[in-house]
């Protein structure tokens, strides 16, 4: 009986409900058709994160191109880190709207022929009176002087601003910004209402060309021919050098650039420095009262230069080449094992592979010897700057497109990291990353003359943008950054207080492709959605270095088939350098004979549209192959003389 009662009593209670399962949120609207299914495991979540990153990179790339176009072609003065609020404000002002500092936006109304600013409606529904000049003629400065006082509620008070047809969008922005700044600084005069000041025509800030360009004197330096010093460090023809210097003085150049070759000065034995030929040359330069810049060149010359110079070839020191026969890994190496003797591999920066010295020690000993030999010239200020050769052709880059190994424009080049020292470093970096299999170079990058779409690494959606590709490219450009940081740390010890210069090439071909293949193989990780130059420039800024941009051809071409655009690349590098506060110079890598090219150089050197009045520190041009050994071209000399005059004068027109 008790058991039955117990059973019946238990059945009187309903069974406990099952715990509710959390229901996944169902996407609605457009998201219901396009959103992927929720990830169920770790691998799918990682894939979804990767897809999200790719979408975000694509969005940022579109935004970056829009901002670049607005800055370059629309004369919009957008901040370096502009967001969409800045873009909307600039577009609204361009369309004639008024945008205040707090974001309040409204547009002026035209009544008759007078312009009156209509602010947003007040919460108190009070009406605003406007001064209207009911005539059919445009507003003049005299009519503005006699405008009446306008009373308005305190919370909607704004100044009256005339519209001038010759006023640029940048000037309108400056007027609005200045008005906002004054109101923030001084506040309103009365507790409830105040008068509205009238603006005269001469108070409006405009871009006056004379005031803007005035005072922008850009020094011009001419590079002396390479063959004036022979391999025994002797000045070949002093009289011919003097004749050339007289010609340069007649052109009003400010100074000359002299290359001091490591392969000549320390050419025959380690620690044996012979500066005799340069001593003779510097004495002649002092007689002509010319300042000069010195390039400490640690690379070879001849066989890989695009200027077709007839100068004698200059190799690395003979004792270094002898070491290279026994240990070829001291040179940069491509993926097929071919050695490039143009310069030493950065893999031996800390390896004692050069008769007991490291690559850094050899460079520092050479720099210290030069400073000791010519210390008097530094004290007198005759040597105005020292340029340090950082890689192939003296430029900060890997030797990724050597002509003597078959490269021809517009090939993408090849990675140069296959010597044993750099490969050892790559394997170590891959182990630290947790993927030892990544400790090798990519095997689908094509050849020197390949196009990006012909490779699996550089093509659109290629391996350059997967996990391994990003790891490798970060390591590759990181090796370049580490090299310049170490070299400049030692350079500062040898040349304390001296202006240092580093050359950065503008590798413009394939710039508009997704991968930027030519820049990647040269060491600049500047693919779409990445700024490959700012990390390099930050190191140069830390060491107080002047950046010299090198134009490979100066043809300013926009080639759709080759995705080439040298002007946009130049703008990117210059903008990044100026954002960091670096001083900028430029050099023409080829002799120039074209009037249009001269005009573009002048416009780039001191742009009349730059509101900050920024310009190049100096400009270096290449002399035609030895100019004093060939007949003068009077037409070319006339163009060159006009170019130098424009760089010195206040007028930007060539």
**Of 293, 305, 271, 272, nearest to 387 (Cα)?**
293
Q: Which long-range contacts (CB under 8 A, 24 or more apart) does 113-120 make?
A: 113/137, 113/138, 113/139, 114/139, 115/139, 115/160, 115/161, 115/162, 115/163, 116/160, 117/158, 117/159, 117/160, 117/161, 119/152, 119/156, 119/157, 119/158, 120/156
Please enumerate in sequence order all residues whose Cβ is within 8 A of that of 300, keeping only pairs 6 or more positions apart, or say none: 263, 313, 314, 315, 316, 341, 342, 343
**Residue 395 is among the residues annotated as catalytic for this protein:** yes
**What whole-number distance in Å separates Cα of residue 104 and Cα of residue 118?**
12
**Of 149, 146, 144, nearest to 203 (Cα)?**
144
Strand duo 545-551 + 500-506: pairing: parallel
Residue 518: Cβ-neighbour burial (10 angstroms; 0-12, 13-18, 19+): buried
Cα distances from 563 to residues 241, 365, 444, 552, in angstroms, run 43, 43, 21, 16
**What whole-number distance in Å separates Cα of residue 615 and Cα of residue 417?**
37
Question: Phi and psi for 109 in degrees, rounded to 5?
Answer: -105, 140
Q: Which helix (H) or strand (E) holds 494?
A: helix 467-494
Cα distances from 307 to residues 63, 230, 400, 550, in angstroms, run 39, 20, 18, 14
Q: What's 123's DSSP letter?
A: T
3-class DSSP assignment, residue 140: coil
- b or e along 466-495 (b: 16 or more beta carbons within 10 Å of the residue's beta carbon)? eebbebbbebbbebbbebbebbbebbeebb
Q: Which helix (H) or strand (E) holds 184?
A: helix 169-186
3-class DSSP assignment, residue 209: helix
| Cβ atoms of 189 and 228 closer than 8 Å | no
DSSP track, 528-576:
TT--SSHHHHHHHHHTTEEEEEEESS----EETTTTEEHHHHHHHHHHH
Of 266, 300, 351, 587, catalytic: 587
Which two structure tokens, joined as six digits, stand for 102? 């707090």
Which two structure tokens, joined as six digits, stand for 522? 């040269």
**Of 209, 76, 206, 74, nearest to 653 (Cα)?**
209
**Of 610, 615, 542, nearest to 583 (Cα)?**
615
Cα dihedral value 229, 232, 234, 236, nearest 10: -60
3-class DSSP assignment, residue 126: coil
**What whole-number distance in Å separates Cα of residue 620 and Cα of residue 638?**
18
- b or e along 295-326 (b: 16 or more beta carbons within 10 Å of the residue's beta carbon)? bbbbbbbeebbeeebeeeebbbbebbeebbee
Of 395, 454, 538, 561, catalytic: 395
**What whole-number distance in Å separates Cα of residue 364 and Cα of residue 371?**
11
**Residue 587 is among the residues annotated as catalytic for this protein:** yes
- Cα torsion angle, 164, 168, 170, 171, sign: negative
Please enumerate in sequence order all residues whose Cβ is within 8 A of that of 428, keeping only pairs 6 or more positions apart, or say none: 439
**What whole-number distance in Å separates Cα of residue 345 and Cα of residue 472?**
18
Among all residues, which ones are annotated catalytic?
395, 587
């Amino acid at each position: 009986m008790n058991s039955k009662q117990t059973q019946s009593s238990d059945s009187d209670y309903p069974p406990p409900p099952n715990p509710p399962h959390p229901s996944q949120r169902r996407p609605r609207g457009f998201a219901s058709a396009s959103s992927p299914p929720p990830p169920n495991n770790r691998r799918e979540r990682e894939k979804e994160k990767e897809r999200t990153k790719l979408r975000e990179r694509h969005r940022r790339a579109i935004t970056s191109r829009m901002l670049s176009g607005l800055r370059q072609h629309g004369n919009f003065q957008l901040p370096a880190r502009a967001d969409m609020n800045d873009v909307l404000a600039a577009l609204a002002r361009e369309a004639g709207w008024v945008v205040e500092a707090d974001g309040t936006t409204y547009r002026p109304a035209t009544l008759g022929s007078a312009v009156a600013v209509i602010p947003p409606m007040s919460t108190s529904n009070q009406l605003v009176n406007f001064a209207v000049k009911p005539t059919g003629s445009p507003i003049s400065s005299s009519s503005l002087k006699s405008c009446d006082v306008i009373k308005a509620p305190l919370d909607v008070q704004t100044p009256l601003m005339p519209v001038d047809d010759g006023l640029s969008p940048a000037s309108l922005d400056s007027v609005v910004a200045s008005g906002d700044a004054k109101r923030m600084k001084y506040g309103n005069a009365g507790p409830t209402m105040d008068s509205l000041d009238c603006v005269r025509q001469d108070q409006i800030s405009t871009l006056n060309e004379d005031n803007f360009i005035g005072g922008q004197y850009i020094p011009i330096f001419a590079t002396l021919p390479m063959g004036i010093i022979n391999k025994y460090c002797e000045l070949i023809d002093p009289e011919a050098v003097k004749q050339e210097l007289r010609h340069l003085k007649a052109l009003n150049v400010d100074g000359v650039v002299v290359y001091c070759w490591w392969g000549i000065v320390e050419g025959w034995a380690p620690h044996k420095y012979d500066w005799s030929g340069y001593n003779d040359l510097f004495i002649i330069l002092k007689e002509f009262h010319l300042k000069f810049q010195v390039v400490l060149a640690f690379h070879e010359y001849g066989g890989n230069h695009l200027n077709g110079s007839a100068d004698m070839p200059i190799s690395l020191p003979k004792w270094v080449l002898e070491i290279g026969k026994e240990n070829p890994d001291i040179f940069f190496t491509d993926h097929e094992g071919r050695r490039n003797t143009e310069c030493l591999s950065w893999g031996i920066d800390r390896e004692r592979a050069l008769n007991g010295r490291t690559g850094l020690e050899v460079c520092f000993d050479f720099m210290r010897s030069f400073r000791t030999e010519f210390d008097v010239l530094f004290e007198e200020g005759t040597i105005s700057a020292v340029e340090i050769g950082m890689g192939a052709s003296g430029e900060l880059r890997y030797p990724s497109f050597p002509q003597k190994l078959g490269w021809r424009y517009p090939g993408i080049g090849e990675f140069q990291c296959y010597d044993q020292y750099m490969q050892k470093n790559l394997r170590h970096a891959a182990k630290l990353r947790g993927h030892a299999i990544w400790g090798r170079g990519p095997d689908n990058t094509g050849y020197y003359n390949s196009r990006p779409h012909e490779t699996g690494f550089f093509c659109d959606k290629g391996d350059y943008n997967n996990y391994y590709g990003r790891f490798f490219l970060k390591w590759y450009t990181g090796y370049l950054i580490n090299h310049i940081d170490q070299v400049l740390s030692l350079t500062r010890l040898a040349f304390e207080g001296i202006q240092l210069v580093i050359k950065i090439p503008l590798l413009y071909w394939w710039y508009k492709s997704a991968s930027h293949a030519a820049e990647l193989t040269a060491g600049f990780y500047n693919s779409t959605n990445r700024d490959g130059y700012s990390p390099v420039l930050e190191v140069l800024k830390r060491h107080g270095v002047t950046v010299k941009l090198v134009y490979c051809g100066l043809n300013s071409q926009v080639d759709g088939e080759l995705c080439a655009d040298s002007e946009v690349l130049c703008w990117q590098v210059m903008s990044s350098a100026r954002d960091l506060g670096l001083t900028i110079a430029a050099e023409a890598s080829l002799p120039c004979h074209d009037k249009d090219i001269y005009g573009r150089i002048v416009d780039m050197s001191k742009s009349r549209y730059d509101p900050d009045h920024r310009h190049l520190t100096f400009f270096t041009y290449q002399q035609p192959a030895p100019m004093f050994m060939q007949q003068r071209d009077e037409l070319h000399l006339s163009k060159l003389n006009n170019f130098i005059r424009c760089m010195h004068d206040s007028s930007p027109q060539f």
